[in-house]
Structure 1
């Protein structure tokens, strides 16, 4: 593999960000509207949670493959191929919409979206060291994360507005157009010198060997290993509660219109954007070594959410909704800051040939238990009050915060 460029290619990086925005916007629109459509049709929290969980299964399993592909194939080819595949999936969805089972079709499209993300994200993330000088890498990582937050902010708003006015089909067409535009931007405007490592042997053996190499690198990095474990616990609890619970709590527990759920999603996107922006604005002020405070922020936010849901009867749905929006936004801000610090730490100190593998490994470990968490949370919302689930989540996060803080002290992070 050629050495990493020394001078920053800002034009190419801007085109990569534009392509990422278009593709992730289409995915966010789909991932918000399709489960909402299923909840509208079935009214089942279990099926709603299961549909989201089914998407995370291939995402988790294929993330290592995405990392290997990012390091051993043309990143530009992956970006174009993923978007083309998503266009084909949505065309199939439109053809079958009126004759197929809604649950099967929603799971099909959701799984395809997450498969695409598993292959796409490592390629996008791993381009940063190749197009930006080493001094610009932390800020570049934060900007890539900001794009994800912007799409989280805008995707639900676009999806909810179009779905509320025109129904599901126009939403699918908007996502399809976004994927096509993303692929076109990459094909026409993205160029960078990045020779992949040669393939040597079978694909499965290559995945095994590359991930073993990444594990060997991490074996002497307790801070990175501990950060991955902590992020996993946060994601399987707070992440699963927020992903499954937001739409369910807003539409079922509080009895508000679906548009309110999109407002909550936008608030979470804004919170995540602020979290990523903090690292971009002040990369020296925030680090993984200080991240016990960020995990504590997620725990505090879930505690506030549990209290609001507990006293819902005396406050009313509108007041509870506002408190939930604020707490969710703070939780995603804190989680986004930790995630950005983790990615920056991975990319700043890793050899170039390991960047994609380490990112994929991080994504796999963080998300390995997410499908289970989402399925469980979906079932719990059908049988337990929302405040009980939120309170249990808050207690678990407090324990994770204390454990991570003690770990950082012992390892002198």
Structure 2
């Protein structure tokens, strides 16, 4: 009897179970196609419009469905078999991109790109919390941190490879072949996910849909406000930092490289790949540290982000050549990417460890919703600022860096208190 229990326990402690392996394969295929497509589209929009404001506005509009629909995606993830949700959404994504590839032959191509980004955002609103909710369902204990690190590694490797693929495909073949490659990747993802076996979530069949949605919202809000207010504070802090950092990274970085410095798409692709490598290194560091990583030190990561932005601004304040400015941007944003990888992995793992299984999908949807709320506003603001101060971008970067540094220093006490409290989610109490 005991001989049968030992292997079972060891299987539960194994990181790369069959379910987790197929999830990783699916994520790798999905991110490869999705990121390559979005990189090529960003180059296409910038070349067609030449405006940071138009580019930022398009990105911001595309994010709105994810912000508003993610809570509903979390509710769905807690009531329906998560494997079926992922398969359906990736198949829909592949079909949507295929239709958009034919629509690009018509006029109003920028409009087609905008509609495509918004539809992919709708699908992402339902898939992202579902994928994150799957990890603690598949893994347990310290493997949750390691599993999140592996997922982050896959995303980082995709960020490392896809800018090169996107720039090569777009430069040599144009935009439409990138669409076809993305279609193939989405369908392959749906194929891998068919082999995942997860138990269906128990739903109250007596409740009407409207009442069920209302009850789920109230339950998750009560958990965040009363039982785990530290999670809500952590999310709001991340959103505040994202307002400044995401604007400079998503809008400012490509605008600085392509428009201000006047460098090619290959330079931008190489820079994105280097940042992807930095993110991979951050994920490897998380796996190496495991549970030894301390939340109390994460305020230093926020301070580091601010210092990097200040340094980037100083590069444009000093009489340096385009080559040196490009090198400084590359180094500083790579450091930002490494720090962001550490921060996000430990923060998400802490949230998952403190969240009951019945609330996992809903709480993870709040993670995406709150963290992304500030991004559209930040992108629009920074798009206008970079257009306004295109010849004096240090007036944008240095003040932003000072604000982020101040936020990091002010959050030191919060992270110390957060790491000092251990929470048992199974017994709904503090250890």
- TM-score range, shorter-chain basis? over 0.9
Equivalent residue runs for 1:41-120 within 5 Å: 41-120=48-127
Q: CA deviation at 1:365?
A: 0.8
CA distance in 1, matches of 2:419, 2:291: 18
Q: CA deviation at 1:106?
A: 1.3
Bigger mean CA offset, 272-281 vs 56-65:
272-281
Instruction: Give the aligned partner of residue 30 of structure 1.
Output: 37
Equivalent residue runs for 1:334-413 within 5 Å: 334-384=339-389, 385-409=392-416, 413=420
Bigger mean CA offset, 98-107 vs 34-43:
98-107
Instruction: Give the aligned partner of residue 280 of structure 1.
Output: 287
TM-score, normalising length from structure 2? 0.89
Instruction: Give the aligned partner of residue 6 of structure 2.
Output: none
**Backbone CA RMSD of aligned residues:** 1.9
CA distance in 2, matches of 1:196, 1:240: 40
Secondary structure of the equivalent of 2:290? coil
Aligned 8 A contact 2:304 2:336 in 1: yes
Q: CA deviation at 1:396?
A: 1.5
CA distance in 2, matches of 1:80, 1:124: 11
Work out whether 1:259 is the aligned partner of 2:254: no
Aligned 8 A contact 1:346 1:355 in 2: no
Work out whether 1:330 is the aligned partner of 2:330: no
CA distance in 2, matches of 1:115, 1:287: 35
Aligned 8 A contact 2:73 2:125 in 1: yes
Q: CA deviation at 1:292?
A: 0.4
- Structure 1 residue ranges without an equivalent (≥5): none
**Judging changes above 3 Å, is the alpha-carbon distance between structure 1 residues 381 and 410 closer, same or farther for their aligned structure 2 residues?**
same
Q: CA deviation at 1:186?
A: 1.1
Work out whether 1:217 is the aligned partner of 2:223: yes
Secondary structure of the equivalent of 2:78? helix
Work out whether 1:192 is the aligned partner of 2:198: yes
Q: CA deviation at 1:110?
A: 1.4
CA distance in 2, matches of 1:207, 1:276: 36
Q: CA deviation at 1:158?
A: 1.1
Aligned 8 A contact 1:247 1:258 in 2: no
Bigger mean CA offset, 64-73 vs 246-255:
64-73
**Judging changes above 3 Å, is the alpha-carbon distance between structure 1 residues 222 and 29 closer, same or farther for their aligned structure 2 residues?**
same
The higher radius of gyration belongs to 2
Instruction: Give the aligned partner of residue 306 of structure 2.
Output: 299
Q: CA deviation at 1:102?
A: 2.3
**Judging changes above 3 Å, is the alpha-carbon distance between structure 1 residues 348 and 316 closer, same or farther for their aligned structure 2 residues?**
same
CA distance in 2, matches of 1:64, 1:102: 31
Q: CA deviation at 1:7?
A: 5.5
Bigger mean CA offset, 398-407 vs 161-170:
398-407
**Judging changes above 3 Å, is the alpha-carbon distance between structure 1 residues 204 and 333 closer, same or farther for their aligned structure 2 residues?**
farther
Q: CA deviation at 1:209?
A: 2.5
Q: CA deviation at 1:207?
A: 3.5
Aligned 8 A contact 2:304 2:405 in 1: no
Aligned 8 A contact 2:97 2:116 in 1: yes
TM-score, normalising length from structure 1? 0.93
Q: CA deviation at 1:198?
A: 3.7
Q: CA deviation at 1:200?
A: 5.3
Aligned 8 A contact 1:129 1:137 in 2: yes
**Judging changes above 3 Å, is the alpha-carbon distance between structure 1 residues 216 and 288 closer, same or farther for their aligned structure 2 residues?**
farther
CA distance in 2, matches of 1:24, 1:212: 33
Q: CA deviation at 1:178?
A: 0.6
Secondary structure of the equivalent of 1:315? coil
CA distance in 2, matches of 1:329, 1:253: 19
CA distance in 1, matches of 2:343, 2:292: 13
**Judging changes above 3 Å, is the alpha-carbon distance between structure 1 residues 169 and 348 closer, same or farther for their aligned structure 2 residues?**
same
CA distance in 2, matches of 1:95, 1:29: 18
Aligned 8 A contact 1:125 1:144 in 2: no
**Judging changes above 3 Å, is the alpha-carbon distance between structure 1 residues 67 and 321 closer, same or farther for their aligned structure 2 residues?**
same
**Judging changes above 3 Å, is the alpha-carbon distance between structure 1 residues 16 and 39 closer, same or farther for their aligned structure 2 residues?**
same
CA distance in 2, matches of 1:207, 1:246: 40
Q: CA deviation at 1:342?
A: 1.0
CA distance in 2, matches of 1:349, 1:85: 33
Q: CA deviation at 1:101?
A: 0.9
Bigger mean CA offset, 291-300 vs 278-287:
278-287
CA distance in 1, matches of 2:214, 2:393: 42
